[in-house]
Amino acid sequence: MIQIDKDILSQVFRKFIAFIEMKSGMKFTDFDSNPYIYQNENYKTELRSSAFKILSFLSWSKNIFGKGIILDTIIKSIEQQQNNLLIWQDRYGPNTKEHHGLYDLKNNKKELYIFEENTYNFFHNQIDDKLYFDYLVEKVGKKYSFLAYIFFIKNPQMYLPISTSNFDKLFEDLNIDFITSKKCSWENYNEYLDIIKYIQVFLNENLFCDISFLDAHSFCWIITSQMRKEKNIEYLQDYNMDFSEKDKDSIIKARIGQGKYRTKLINKWNKSSSISNYSNLHFLIASHIKPWKNCNNIEAIDPENGLLLTPNYDFLFDNGYITFSDTGKIILSSELVESDLSEFHIDKNIKILRVSEKMKEYLQYHYLNIFRK
């Protein structure tokens, strides 16, 4: 069983959130709606859908085995212009293509028949996946990216693409004793998948959204292929990682409104909203006054920097459409019109119930840096 240090993963997770919010210019809430993630990672979903459509394997029949039809569709599904999950272009000669072994099958009728029969059975779940993986290794060699691509096309909920050099860097960063380079095998591939599954579970536990297997892959890919290249590290200037083991979990959970930080806010505001007597905790959101991404470690878990708000007020406050004065009175942005106030059920006379001296500092920051005047 491969050991994964959850504390290290938590630190990387926090950096990831800061990176995505810096790149997108907006609060990170989920993978699907973030424009930066969509722009950089959605191609995998589109590529898989396109390849799946090209294959149209339900139209295959056993009487076409050996005719090259199935082989041609496999090659066509690989050689898509937008496919950067493996090297398929003829840049440095045909033998540099990861799938060049498929072309050799065209000249051997017996092997072509066996390939098409096995591929038909693979996509129709009539052959064990391990047997098909081992068969491809025998016929095209240990071409890890090619093999992973074929399995990903079949089922992205079970299988993922792989870039051995990049993911080995990731495992090194996470202090995971595991490598994939020159280790192409069914066993190694499944260990790789198990690591990503662990990360998927971790993300599901730490975010208020459903995380798909491919989302977890995107998380890993952004960490290793994009964050490593980022020269502007200002987004991490206040993200000092030298804090106690006790505080690590508190800081991460403060970001997502869980754990001791949320409990502190609930107790601070007597189990009700900071601006009313509303007390259904299921619908009250722990919201930072000074945004989490701009906080140092102390500010991130300071209950004086937190409000409990209903979703309508939390959204407007978080995006700068409302703020509060030193006395706690609500201040409305000039960008809001009467229909907005009506739609969001905003009370113009509402105010924070108690404002401490320390909270005034955070409110001043929000007014000067977040509020849309």
| pLDDT at site 213 | 95
The pLDDT of residue 64 is 96
Residues 368 and 373: their CA atoms lie apart, in Å, by 9
Please report how many Cα atoms fall inside a 13 Å half-sphere around the Cα of residue 373, on the Cβ side.
5
What pLDDT shows up at residue 93?
66
Cβ 46 vs Cβ 84: under 8 Å: no
Amino acid at the residue 129: D
- Alpha-carbon span 265 to 263, nearest angstrom: 5
Contact 159, 51 (CB under 8 A): no
Amino acid 260: pLDDT: 67
Instruction: Decide: helix, strand or coil at residue 308.
Output: strand
DSSP string, 280-306: -GGG-EEEESS-GGG--HHHHT-GGGE
pLDDT at 299: 80
pLDDT tens for the chain, residues 1 to 373: 688 888 888 888 888 988 898 888 888 888 988 999 999 999 999 999 999 999 999 999 999 999 999 999 999 999 998 898 988 877 666 677 888 899 999 989 999 999 999 999 999 999 999 999 999 999 999 999 999 999 999 999 999 999 999 999 999 988 899 999 999 999 999 999 999 999 999 998 888 778 999 999 999 999 988 887 765 555 454 444 344 443 445 544 444 444 567 788 899 999 999 999 999 988 888 888 998 767 776 787 788 999 999 999 998 998 899 999 999 999 999 999 999 999 999 999 999 999 999 999 999 999 999 999 8
Question: Residue 217: what pLDDT?
Answer: 96
Domain ranges of the chain: 6-41+162-227, 46-154, 247-369
